Amino acid sequence: MIPVILSGGSGSRLWPLSRQAFPKQFLPLLSEDSMFQQTLARLPKDDVEAPVVVANDEHRFLVKEQLDAIGQTPETILLEPFGRNTAPAVAMAAVQIARKDPASIMLVLPADHEISQTRPFHDAIKKGLQVAKDGALVLFGTTPTRPETGYGYISAAGREDDPDGPRPVRKFIEKPDEATARQLLDEGGYYWNSGMFMFRADAYLRELKRHSRDIYDTVLLASRSLENDLGFTRIPPEIFEHCPDDSIDYAVMEKTSRATLVPLDAGWSDVGAWSSLWDISEKDDQFNAVFGEACLQDSSGCLIHAPEKLVAMVGVEDLVVVDTKDALMVAPRDRVQDIKKVVQRLKAQNRPEAHTHREVFRPWGSYDSIDNGNRFQVKRITVKPGEKLSLQKHHHRAEHWIIVRGTAEVSRDDETFLLSENESTYIPIGAVHRLYNPGKIPLELIEVQSGAYLGEDDIERLDDRYGRAGQAETDEVIPVMDVRIS
């Protein structure tokens, strides 16, 4: 069995914590590990091969960092130049897997789901494996606990001989309104569609070819022109851009006669909104879920996520408060689905808060823009041991570097020298320069920029160990959060 981990979502309904450049699957929402890392950690240990990870090109170094942090070596990391939904993503993985063994079983898992009970999850996988080997396209359905309007529903034939065993799918029901959801809950026999699947690689491709030929043909063409780059496998954008945008459900599962449901009762949640996080979080005696510090007086049913400052609330009910370094979000708990509309407005206004956090991840480390004003900007920069920034120059700004921890090797035009704690240097406009950490501890420095233009695209890369020479620095903007990516 080969796990296929889909990690390309944006998670906009968990804004401002989840953003386009650092979506929820890479966040440590419920433990010190990210949801992506937890997805890999809960996989069965026996008869499971190295995973295939499908990721957005923008997140490639973050994916690699988080895999390394948990000692996981993937079979491959497939990089999508842009999202085309789950049907093409799974098809690209299926083609690579089928080339080695068409009968290989694929376990397709989104990287941003919570499953609190591992043993029932493994039991469901075993039951799905039995029928997947015979060509069934398995999906996992969980019993509804409330009239949820954010999930799709599935009706499946019952089995008196095995109430928890695989059963044929009768029909799919799109995300219903609340009245319909209540009706389905009252009638019983319906399951939430978890978005997790299992099938043979050749079985999925055969059904995709039969029911969504355009996707099949485009994926097959793109798979013939894959490019290996620094351990990643790139999908050619000039071909992939013509691929239809469609989900597995619409493209295959709702059309095939081989759809088979396996019931899953393992504490599943897609953590699709702040209300979902409140549902599965530990709460105090007033049903408040707190991440960080809070002083709550006569307040109940609230979710507070503010790890860097104290939040005080008096006389409020059912509110969600989320605080980050550059944005504060407050909403009634029953209105958090509308946060997606806020993100759309921010994108329309070209607000950076829709895309990145203030603290930004690079393959060599991170930087945090701690202050800025007219013609100046101050950053706190961290460079990991043994890593170096690109050889570069700026056309509009000069930089002052002050070392606060560790040792820096600085290249500036024709000279190279070392700087230790409490030492500093100056990089004039136009100087060719590079920063390297030769030590065994993180290098920390304060950078003061000054000049007429301080945008991140004022970087001309001349050489780069991460294959980014010639690219604007903004191509790699990925914010860093408190997650195990050492």
* Region 236-240 average pLDDT: 96
Last residue of a domain, one of 269, 286, 318: 269
Q: Is residue 356 part of a domain?
A: no
Tell me the residue ranges of DSSP E strands in 176-314.
190-200, 227-229, 232-234, 259-263, 268-269, 289-297, 303-314
154 and 281 belong to one structural domain:
no
465 in Cβ contact with 383 (< 8 Å)? no
Q: Phi/psi class of residue 99: alpha, beta or left (left: φ > 0; alpha: ψ in -120 to 50)?
A: alpha
pLDDT at 486 over 60: no
Q: Is residue 485 part of a domain?
A: no
Sheet holding 433-436, edge to edge: 415-419, 408-412, 433-436, 391-393, 460-463
254 and 291 belong to one structural domain:
no
Other CB atoms within 10 A of residue 309 CB: 11
Q: Which residue has the higher pLDDT, 31 or 87?
A: 87
pLDDT at 72 over 70: yes
In angstroms, rounded to a whole number, what is the distance separating the alpha carbons of residues 297 and 313? 6
Checking 279-288 for CB contacts under 8 A at 24+ apart, the result is 280/30, 280/114, 280/116, 281/30
Q: Is residue 423 part of a domain?
A: yes
Which class for 208: exposed (0-12), middle (13-18), buried (19 or more C-beta within 10 A)? buried
Last residue of a domain, one of 252, 269, 286: 269
Q: Is residue 480 part of a domain?
A: no
150 and 205 belong to one structural domain:
yes
Nearest to 299 by CA among 321, 281, 279: 321
CA distances from 419 to 29, 94, 423, 427, 448 (A): 38, 50, 6, 14, 16
pLDDT at 5 over 80: yes
Other CB atoms within 10 A of residue 222 CB: 23
79 and 168 belong to one structural domain:
yes
pLDDT for 480 equals 32
373 and 425 belong to one structural domain:
yes
Beta bridge partners of residue 477, listed in sequence order: none
Q: Is residue 484 part of a domain?
A: no
Indicate the number of domains in the chain.
3
Pairing of strands 303-314, 319-323: parallel
In angstroms, rounded to a whole number, what is the distance separating the alpha carbons of residues 362 and 60? 11
pLDDT at 7 over 50: yes
| 383: phi then psi, degrees, rounded to nearest 5 | -115, 125
The 10s digit of each residue's pLDDT in 133-175 is 999 999 999 999 888 888 899 998 876 567 778 999 999 998 8
12 and 70 belong to one structural domain:
yes
Specify the range with the lowest mean pLDDT, choosing from 2-6, 440-444, 451-455. 451-455
Amino acid at 28: P
pLDDT for 469 equals 67
For residues 311, 312, 318, 324, the Cα torsion angle rounded to the nearest 10 degrees is -20
pLDDT for 30 equals 86
pLDDT at 246 over 80: yes
pLDDT for 231 equals 83
| Positive or negative: CA dihedral 179, 182, 183, 189 | positive
| CATH number for the domain that contains residue 136 | 3.90.550.10
How confident is residue 477, by pLDDT bands cut at 50, 70 and 90? very low
Nearest to 144 by CA among 167, 176, 170: 176
Last residue of a domain, one of 296, 319, 348: 348
138 and 176 belong to one structural domain:
yes
Q: Is 251 helix (H, G, I), strand (E, B) or coil?
A: helix
Residue for token pair 């950076």: 352
The 10s digit of each residue's pLDDT in 253-285 is 999 999 999 999 999 999 989 999 999 999 999
* Region 7-27 average pLDDT: 92
261 and 375 belong to one structural domain:
no
23 in Cβ contact with 62 (< 8 Å)? no
In angstroms, rounded to a whole number, what is the distance separating the alpha carbons of residues 49 and 157? 32
CA distances from 202 to 209, 250, 261, 400, 443 (A): 10, 19, 19, 58, 49
Name the helix (H) or strand (E) containing 480: none
pLDDT for 360 equals 87
pLDDT for 482 equals 33
Q: Is 416 helix (H, G, I), strand (E, B) or coil?
A: strand
**For 293, which DSSP code?**
E
Domain containing 174: what range?
2-269
240 and 287 belong to one structural domain:
no
390 in Cβ contact with 463 (< 8 Å)? yes
Q: Is the peptide bond before 244 cis (omega within 30 degrees of 0)?
A: no
For residues 449, 452, 457, 461, the Cα torsion angle rounded to the nearest 10 degrees is -70
| CATH number for the domain that contains residue 444 | 2.60.120.10
Q: Is 306 helix (H, G, I), strand (E, B) or coil?
A: strand
pLDDT for 475 equals 38
How confident is residue 483, by pLDDT bands cut at 50, 70 and 90? very low
The 10s digit of each residue's pLDDT in 317-344 is 999 999 999 999 999 999 998 999 999 9
245 and 228 belong to one structural domain:
yes
Q: Is residue 79 part of a domain?
A: yes
332 and 392 belong to one structural domain:
no
Q: Is residue 295 part of a domain?
A: yes
304 and 451 belong to one structural domain:
no
Specify the range with the lowest mean pLDDT, choosing from 2-6, 127-131, 212-216, 475-479. 475-479
Q: Is residue 393 part of a domain?
A: yes
Beta bridge partners of residue 463, listed in sequence order: 391
